[in-house]
Amino acid sequence: MHKLARLVLLLLVVASAAVADADNEDYERARRLHESGVIVPLEKVVARVRAEYPDSKVLEAELKEKEQGLTYEIEIVDKTGVVRELYFDARSGELMRSKQE
């Protein structure tokens, strides 16, 4: 049993490192795209979300590559518990659509 516990711990460490590497790669990609002027900064889009939904909290923000191009997907929740997904064009910062869950 001792060997099994060590193996499980090792697998958890390896899996955590893989997730951290993927997150770092995503960050570096977004940083390069922003610095080259391809996309607007995420902070600008989040500021817009906070202005339009002042009583909401940002749960998640991701840069995704979709058929229509680069998209910021922002998930928010308001004080009543309503969750919305907002989709912004990452090049212009314009809201493309929103979806309430």
CATH for 39-101, options being 2.60.40, 3.10.450, 2.40.350, 3.30.70: 3.10.450
State residue 101's pLDDT score.
82
Below-70 pLDDT ranges, the chain: 1-24
Distance CA 96, CA 48 (A): 13
Per-residue pLDDT at 20: 45
Q: What are phi and psi of 18, to 5 degrees?
A: -65, -40
pLDDT of residue 68: 80
- What is the per-residue pLDDT for 19? 42
Q: So where are the chain's domains?
A: 1-38, 39-101
Q: What is the DSSP string of 26-81?
A: HHHHHHHHHHTTSS--HHHHHHHHHHHSTTEEEEEEEEEEETTEEEEEEEEEETT-
Predicted pLDDT of residue 30: 81
